[in-house]
Copies of this chain bind each other. A is one copy, B any other.
Amino acid sequence: MSVKILTIKEDILGANTENAKGNEELVDKHHILMINITSSPGAGKTSLIMQTIGRLKEKARMAVIEGDIASSIDADKVSGEGIPAIQINTAGACHLDANMIRKALDNLDLDHTDLIVIENVGNLICPAEFALGAHKQVLILSVPEGDDKPHKYPLMFTQADVILINKTDVLPHFDFNMSAFSKAVSGLNPAAAVYPISAKTGEGLEQWFSWLWDALEQRKV
């Protein structure tokens, strides 16, 4: 039975990869940068997005696609800031897929958008297997989760273009070894940018804004 499942999974993943390419072509045609933010539940994806809206909304036209199993808590927060927000409820599925993103793109005004931020379902596993067509993969790992996570969830850490270590404001209260974490990340993915931040206090966010702004500028060329 395990072989059968594998075949099915390959079919699903193959079809998804095709759909993801279509998404990327669509946003490229509109000169949009699309980023995919992943993390465990509660690591700070929405807080980072709220900070990014506050900083960039006057400089870039943003839209947000929110993925959740249930609820529209996050999309409500984002649209409260006047940013177009689409909530995808996955009805139990542990990740967003390219087809869901396509439906969201069809509901956005792509001619008047510079940056699309996708907030994936809170999960360090399944989202790594499903391409969405995003140009950049953003991974958040929060201090309370511990420094051993790259060893336990290697695929997610291998794929990230940037890794944000969030909740540095509580570092004194946790046994988080920053150098052990950095060493584990370097072993898997030496090219990834790694920035310690606090989406709560704003500490370290300049590096993130600068990274994102550079990526935006590159898209506009």
Contacts and interface: CB of A to CB of B under 8 A. Distances in A.
Contacts of A196: none
A82 to B, nearest CB: 22
Oligomeric state, in number of copies?
2
Contacts of A145: 40-43
Contacts of A126: 94, 125-126
B152 A122 contact: yes
Contact of A153 (B69, B148, B149, B173): B69
Interface of A: 1, 5, 8, 12, 15, 40-43, 68-71, 73, 92, 94, 121-126, 129, 142, 144-146, 148-149, 151-155, 167, 169-170, 173-174
Contact of A152 (B68, B146, B173): B68
Contacts of A42: 40, 142, 144-146, 149
Contacts of A125: 69, 92, 94, 121, 123, 126
17 contacts: A40-B40, A40-B41, A41-B149, A41-B152, A42-B146, A42-B149, A43-B145, A69-B125, A69-B155, A70-B152, A71-B152, A92-B155, A122-B152, A122-B153, A144-B144, A144-B167, A173-B173
Given A71-B152, A122-B152, 13 more contacts: A5-B8, A40-B40, A40-B41, A42-B142, A42-B146, A69-B154, A69-B155, A92-B125, A92-B155, A94-B123, A94-B125, A123-B125, A170-B173
